[in-house]
């Protein structure tokens, strides 16, 4: 495992997606594996951590997730801008070499039989919580996060450090037509949490 990758406690895992980044979704079933981009992914719960992701019926990744019951959500970086757009626009069915063409390098995480994308800033290994109606009617998939990791150069001690890390490690926020925004300046509300 890359020297910069370290586990994130599950109770802090929601923070990896809280800022609303575009993500990469990866999955494997048998000898087939794929990676796609998804702008429509969102935290659903703190503990056990859960998330939602929208997966169109036309995607090969969706079929792999339905068969394997597992997937990985990872947070790509500014350095992976072109890779992210490429895996989000080319389908595996028409482009069987899409991963190699996009420069995707996959690696294994011990004890997790899922493909992880190298070079990201965070990884969330998920178990599908089957909800047939959501999946059929809304293309909406719910996952429980069973393992989480971050690149410690940009996420440590349970929080992001975009303001001090290499700008190439910032997250991407997709808009449309190949246009993205990077995560920007840090701001503090200046008030304490009250309930």
SS3 36: strand
Of these, 11, 103, 138, 166, which contacts its own copies (CB under 8 A)? 138
Binding marks (x or -) toward its own copies, 80..99, rule CB under 8 A? -xx-xxx--xxx--x-----
Q: What's the CA gap between 101 and 97, in Å, rounded? A: 6
Residue with tokens 């796609």: 36
Residue found under tokens 């290994």: 125
139 binds its own copies (CB under 8 A): yes
Q: How many Cα atoms are found within 13 Å in the side-chain-facing hemisphere of 5?
A: 19
Q: Does residue 184 interact with its own copies by CB under 8 A?
A: yes
Listed ranges 2-10, 63-71, 74-82, 107-115: which one lies at the site for its own copies (CB under 8 A): 74-82
Interaction between residue 185 and its own copies (CB under 8 A):
yes
Mention every residue, 6+ apart, whose C-beta is less than 8 A from residue 46. Answer: 11, 14
Residue 122 corresponds to which tokens in the numbers above? 């965070």
62 sits near its own copies (criterion: CB under 8 A)? no
Widest Cα–Cα separation across the chain = 52
- Minimum distance from CB of 140 to its own copies (Å)? 6
From 1-9, 64-72, 120-128, 159-167, give the range in contact with its own copies by CB under 8 A.
159-167
Give the side-chain half-sphere CA count within 13 A for 143.
30
The contact set with its own copies (CB under 8 A) reads: 15, 18-22, 39-45, 50, 52, 54, 78, 81-82, 84-86, 89-91, 94, 131, 133-134, 138-140, 142, 159-160, 162, 170, 172-195
């Amino acid at each position: 495992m890359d020297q910069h990758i370290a586990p994130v406690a599950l109770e802090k895992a929601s923070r990896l997606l809280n800022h609303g980044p575009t993500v990469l979704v990866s999955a494997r079933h048998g000898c087939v594996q794929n990676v796609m981009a998804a702008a429509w992914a969102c935290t659903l719960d703190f503990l056990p951590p859960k998330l939602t992701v929208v997966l169109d019926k036309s995607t090969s990744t969706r079929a792999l997730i339905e068969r394997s019951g597992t997937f990985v959500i990872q947070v790509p970086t500014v350095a992976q801008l072109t890779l992210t757009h490429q895996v989000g626009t080319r389908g595996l069915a028409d482009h069987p070499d899409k991963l190699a063409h996009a420069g995707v390098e996959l690696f294994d995480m011990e004890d997790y039989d899922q493909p992880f994308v190298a070079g990201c800033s965070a990884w969330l290994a998920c178990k599908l919580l089957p909800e047939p109606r959501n999946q059929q009617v809304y293309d909406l998939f719910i996952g429980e996060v069973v393992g989480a990791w971050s690149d410690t150069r940009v996420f440590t001690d349970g929080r992001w450090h975009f303001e001090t890390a290499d700008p190439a490690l910032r997250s991407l926020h997709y808009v449309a037509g190949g246009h993205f925004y990077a995560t920007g300046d840090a701001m503090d509300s200046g008030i304490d949490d009250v309930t």
